């Protein structure tokens, strides 16, 4: 018999938000795929880097969202404002420096397409903007 450790409220909220974002992620991916297919049809040139970029961009977006959820829960448990500010700033820098260094290297090596890797990073913003508009909170 295993004893399940209760999840933190912040982690539960993050998981609920992530589940709620699935439809938006799927629709945004569909739009990006349609744009890529149309552009490839017009130019007559399909590049496999479009697919690898889209896949990596989605992994980075979901991974970042989950990472932020868990780290936010950790900060909330500490209840130390100064620690929260320093930790958040350092983690922001590490996340973005790491992501852009990796993306830059993979773009330079011609493994991913810049458009398709960066587009998914905006999906959460699109999701929350649409959510606010539909609730008329704007």
- Report the SS3 class of residue 135: coil
pLDDT tens figures, 76-115: 777 788 888 888 889 889 988 999 999 999 999 999 999 9
**Alpha helices for the chain (secondary structure H):** 9-43, 48-78, 81-108, 114-118, 123-134
Kindly report the backbone phi and psi dihedral angles of residue 46, in degrees, each rounded to the nearest multiple of 5, phi listed first: -95, 130
Per-domain boundaries in the chain: 9-134
- Quote the pLDDT of residue 75: 81
Residue 14 vs residue 38, higher pLDDT: 38
pLDDT score for 3: 57
pLDDT of residue 4: 58
C-alpha 7/C-alpha 79 separation (Å) is 18
Q: Is pTM beyond 0.85 here?
A: no
- Taking the C-alpha atoms of residue 1 and residue 15, their distance in angstroms, rounded to an integer, is 25
């Amino acid at each position: 018999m295993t004893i399940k450790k209760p999840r933190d409220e912040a982690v539960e909220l993050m998981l609920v938000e992530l589940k709620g974002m699935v439809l938006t992620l799927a629709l945004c991916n569909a739009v990006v795929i349609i744009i890529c297919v149309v552009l490839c049809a017009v130019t007559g040139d399909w590049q496999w880097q479009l697919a690898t970029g889209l896949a990596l961009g989605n992994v980075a977006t979901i991974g970042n969202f989950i990472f932020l959820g868990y780290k936010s829960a950790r900060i909330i448990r500490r209840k130390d404002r100064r620690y929260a500010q320093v930790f958040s700033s350092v983690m922001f820098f590490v996340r973005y420096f790491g992501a852009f260094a990796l993306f830059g290297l993979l773009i330079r090596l011609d493994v991913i397409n810049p458009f398709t890797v960066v587009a998914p990073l905006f999906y959460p913003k699109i999701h929350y903007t649409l959510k606010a508009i539909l609730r008329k909170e704007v």
